[in-house]
Amino acid sequence: MMDLPLHKPEQKQGNKSQARLDYEAGLEFLKNKETAQAANMFHNALIGFEQEKDVTGVANATDKLGDICAERRELDKALQHYDRVISICQDLGDGISVFSIDKKKAKLHAVCGKHEEAISMYLDIIDQYNAMRNPQGTVDTLEILAQVYLDAGKREKAADCFRTAASIHEKYKHRQHAEDFMNRAAELVAPA
């Protein structure tokens, strides 16, 4: 186990604040799969960033705390952290970060068996990818959504996702991918 880097509050490394040092230490702990230590460092960083009124730092530390809670499948705590990050990002006009957090929330709902919430969020994500004209993001999300539908027992809806993905691939003349998705759809609706 790695020792905690000890820093006195008034001590700075370069021009990094104690909050920034705590955040970076949390990233190291997270990289080494030491989530309890990482959570502690991110919490300390969060407090420091709040005292410094560094809203970007608050958002980053809160996001990491949300990730740790999500990994532990602590749905309510993770959503609370993610919602705080979304609020900050919306205030800053950072739509890309909001989109990124929405994808984390959708995945968390799916993992925790909250299928209807996950489905609703993934449909919104698909709309976002369509608005960005990102067919790969759309297809990837359709594939994830198909699995959520399967987990929810909605085979026909999952097959619809695969057919839609196939039509996107067909539009770009990716015939083999289109055929693969059509076969997956057919398997789902074939009589047993």
Maximum pairwise Cα distance, the chain: 70
Mind giving me the DSSP string for 134-178?
-HHHHHHHHHHHHHHHHHTT-HHHHHHHHHHHHHHHHHTT-HHHH
Do the first three CATH levels of 17-112 and 114-192 match, i.e. the same topology?
yes
Q: Exposed, middle or buried: residue 125 (CB in 10 Å: 0-12, 13-18, 19+)? A: buried
State how far the Cα of 37 lies from the Cα of 45, in Å rounded to an integer. Answer: 12
User: Tell me, which fold does domain 17-112 have in CATH?
Assistant: 1.25.40
The values of phi and psi at residue 13, to 5°, are: -105, 110
pLDDT one-digit tens code per residue, 109-161: 999 999 999 999 999 999 999 999 999 999 999 999 999 999 999 999 999 99
Would you write out the chain's pLDDT as a tens digit for each of its 192 residues?
A: 333 333 334 444 579 999 999 999 999 999 999 999 999 999 999 999 999 999 999 999 999 999 999 999 999 999 999 999 999 999 999 999 999 999 999 999 999 999 999 999 999 999 999 999 999 999 999 999 999 999 999 999 999 999 999 999 999 999 999 999 999 999 999 887
pTM over 0.85: yes
Compute the C-alpha angle 24/58/99, nearest 5°: 100
Half-sphere exposure for 181 (CA within 13 Å, toward CB): 23
Contacts of 89 (CB under 8 A, 6+ apart): 59, 95, 97, 98, 101
Nearest one of 71, 58, 132, 141 to 106, comparing CA atoms: 141
Domain definitions of the chain by residue range: 17-112, 114-192
Compute the C-alpha angle 60/63/68, nearest 5°: 130
The answer to whether the beta carbons of residues 177 and 143 sit under 8 Å apart is no
Half-sphere exposure for 133 (CA within 13 Å, toward CB): 1
**Quick one: CA torsion of 150, 155, 160, 162, rounded to 10 degrees?**
50
Classify domain 114-192 by CATH number. 1.25.40
